[in-house]
Homo-oligomer: A and B are copies of this chain.
Amino acid sequence: MVKKFRIGSPFDTEAVIEKIEISDTKDFPLGLSLGEKAVLKFNIEKDDMIFGLGEAVRGINKRGWIYESWCSDETNHTEDKRSLYGAHNFIVVSGKEKFGLFVDFPAKIEWDLCYSECDEVKITLDGKSADFYYIKGKNERGIVREFRRIIGKSYIPPFWAFGYQQSCWGYAKQEDFVNVRENHRNNNLPLDCIYMDIDYMERFKDFTVNRDLFPDFKAFVDDMKANNIHLIPIIDAGVKKEKGYSVYEEGHEKGFFCKNADGTDFECGVWPGIVGLPDFLNKDARRWFGSQYDALSDLGIDGFWNDMNEPAIFYSVDGLNKAMKKLDDIRGKDVDIWGFFGIKDALMGVQNSMDDYSNFYHNIDGKLVCHKDVHNLYGAFMTTAAGEYFEEKFGKEKKLIFSRASYIGAHRTSGIWFGDNFSWWSHILLNLKMLPSVNMCGFLYCGADLGGFNNNVTRDLLLRWLTLGVFTPLMRNHRALGTRAQEAYQFGDCKEFSDVLSVRYRLIPYIYSTFRRCSEEDDMMFRPLSFDYPDDKIAREVEDQLMLGDECMIAPIYEQNKNGRTVYLPEDMSFVKLSGENVKIEKLKKGIHYISVELNEVPLFIKNGKNIPLAKPALNTAELDTENLTYLL
């Protein structure tokens, strides 16, 4: 049961596709007050739990912190952060009363989830026009399904996108990509995709390829495909301002870039230098941008990742000038300690500044709309621009596309990845905790940068992280320029890596069919144990294990120098260790157990009475035999 309530005249976010009658707000069961900002307020009981908010830091149970819906280019995924890249405004409150709440509102929202007051939820919208959806269901999973039904089926990527993928900011030359391919193959390490980060472009210009690096790009793409490797280039939101660059010139002439208040193009600095920001909220601009992908599709590219689309702004021309002026003012005097911090703060404040987001505009049906009022749609609409275009031109399930920034609704045309994490052990666990939360919001094709994007990996960190990654639909190893090399063949003894990656390919039939079912049935692929065992006091609080599909439970090792971990079984299960072609099985009773797991083993738990299919290992999805499957038990 979904009830819809409306205040003001909300912007059409395209999140909900089912037509639902609007109920009278006086029947809205949560305390609603309307002033400059709309505020929702209600109390919950001591042990009630709050799930949702999709891509965010901290626990699966979100209680006890303030979150903000504000798509942010935030690289430090530490506990104190309030926002990451996505704005996923859906929560499920689980107590004596259970209900879901979706706040369909594209500007900033503050979610004070029992932070200021231990028993009070206070949701503050930066505005007063919004749709609220109040959702009941027989349990948490049922509430999620009700919600998912009204927002539409989740995106399904091509089958090969379930293979293992390698990425690195820094692969530049053709030879780099060939090396990655060959090093995997020669070491018996499966691989389906290699990503192209910003290095492949000509001066970071979208939809261009650097001809010095790739003299015949089409032939290169074809050669990779002949070797069963898909190349996946990055597309950034900003379009470089450059004379003679057709994308920029066309966008500028057609008025397809975001505007300053005076109608001139808003200009800011990102990787390419000064760029125009395509106005994805304008339907014509959106369609125009979607069609630009043809430049690469025509060369054989069948997958893309959209980045920097919160949008990330290193600086605006105006913002930088202001900071420089402040700096000059301070330098006029003797620089004292406060002057020094003043200079630093002025420069640091230039990046992703609220001043900038408040100072440019979208042209929506001829009306100028301030960016900050629709900020959280920007990246989502960029990606939908591509996703919709692809579906129309190539059909469903033909192109891989996923995004850094997102809003609910984009789940119908694309996936997401969890952005610029770190090579931290704690980020294995954060990766795990985000999975059910984003599933709740419709994002099924998702995953984190395995091994960690920022900073330096260790061999054991990568191996352990991969044992979670073998279960995530997007299984990509990615790292930043200047960090320690982290391809699976970089650490000697590739056998252990091969053992773990082979498990992925053995599981693909199961993962893929579970994924499809969850898309078709509006279901979650990953669930917290509390969803399945709501009356089990211990299971309710477990946040380092997840239910997968209807058959399994996963519990990776996520600490260094550990040969095992404790795991809680909410019912009798088979404890399975998969490694290459090997399978070890042990029956375990409901309760707490210490399990030993070697670095090359993937732990998995199968519920009694359930079973899952296994394929033979393969070096890529094209070579995967999906017909002749065996059963695990």
Q: Which residues of A contact B (CB under 8 A)?
A: 47, 49, 58-59, 61, 63-65, 78-80, 115, 118, 269-273, 314-315, 320, 324, 327, 331, 335-337, 340-341, 343-344, 347-348, 350, 422-426, 454-456, 458-460, 491-492, 537-538, 541, 543, 559-564, 566, 568, 592-594
Contact = CB atoms under 8 A, between A and B. Distances in A.
Contacts of A537: 563
Given A47-B563, A272-B337, A541-B562, A422 B592 contact: no
Given A78-B78, A324-B331, A424-B79, A459 B561 contact: no
Contact of A458 (B49, B64, B594): B64
Nearest to A540: B563
Contacts of A560: 58-59, 61, 63-65
Copy number of this protein in the oligomer? 2
Contact of A340 (B315, B335, B566, B592): B315
A49 B561 contact: yes
A482 B504 CA distance: 48
8 contacts: A64-B458, A64-B560, A79-B426, A80-B424, A118-B459, A320-B340, A537-B563, A543-B559
A461 to B, nearest CB: 8
A14 to B, nearest CB: 33
Given A63-B561, A340-B320, A561-B59, A423 B80 contact: yes
Chain B CB within 10 A, most for which of A64, A422, A460: A64
Contact of A592 (B47, B269, B343, B594): B594
A336 B273 contact: yes
B592 A79 contact: no
A335 B572 CA distance: 64
A79 B320 contact: no
A406 B78 CA distance: 27
A337 B324 contact: no
A67 to B, nearest CB: 13
B315 A425 contact: no
Contacts of A568: 566, 594
A251 B529 CA distance: 65
A11 B141 CA distance: 67
A337 B269 contact: yes
Contacts of A454: 80
Nearest to A204: B337
Contacts of A559: 59, 543
